[in-house]
Structure 1
C-alpha cells in the first residue's frame, strides 16, 4: 500500500486482491459478476478502468459484497482508513500460526469494515455489547443468567 489509489479501478483492484478467504486466491470476474448481478464483461471493464464508475445500484452491491463503507470509492480519507484496516487485519491473520477457519477471517474483516461506517456513539454501543457478550461467555455456565444481555441492557 505504498500509494493511495485514486481511480475506481485501483480501489476495486485493492478489494479484489485482499478481500477473499485466506484459503483461496482473489475472486475472478465470473464470480464477481454472479455476486453483483452484472455481466463478466462489465466487471472486467470496471476492474481495468475501461468503465470509470459503475451505476449506483452496482456500486452498492460492490460495497456490500466487500463489506466496506459506502464512501470507500468516493472519499480518499475513507479509502486510506479502510485500506489500513484491511492490511492490519491481513497482517494479524497471516502472523497467526494456527489461524482459524479462513471463512471467518473474511467475515471478521467485513464486520470490522462495517463498523468503520458507524458514528462514534454507534461504535461505542457495539463495543459495549461485545464487552457484555465476552463477560457472559467467560462466566461459568451454572452462574450465567438465563438469557444473554441485550443491546439495551445498561449492565
Structure 2
C-alpha cells in the first residue's frame, strides 16, 4: 500500500526538519512506536541505523531501520531492513508562507502480521491512513505547543 499525507505546520522548516529527522522523537508523536534506539554512532544522517519497537496487531514487533535520504532542512527518508510490515517513509519539508508544508510519502506492507492482518484490504488501508493522519497531527500539535512554551 502506498500513501501520501500532507499538512501545514506554522513553524519554520528548519525546526520541523530537526524534529522529524531525529528519530528518537518518534515515540512522542507516532502512536504505534514504543521505543527507538540508535544502532550506529550517529543518530541522524544518511546511513544512520536504528531499532524501532512498535505495537502491532498481535503484539510488539521490532524493526531495524536505515536512513536512506537526508538533505538537511529538506527531506529525510528511511526504510525498514528487517522485521514485520516492511515500510519506507519519505518526509519532504517545504517552506510556505507562514510556516512549513510537511509531506509524507510512504509504502507499507502487512507482511509478517498474523492471519487476516497480513493483507491490507480497503478497510485496513483506511484505518492505517487515518492513524497516520492522527500521528502527523500529533506532531503538529507538539511543534506548536513547544513554540508557545519558548
State TM-score, norm by structure 1: 0.26
Larger radius of gyration: 1
Structure number with the bigger relative contact order (C-alpha 8 A, sep ≥ 6) is 2
Q: Which has the higher helix share?
A: 1
Normalised to the residue count of structure 2, the TM-score between the two structures is 0.26
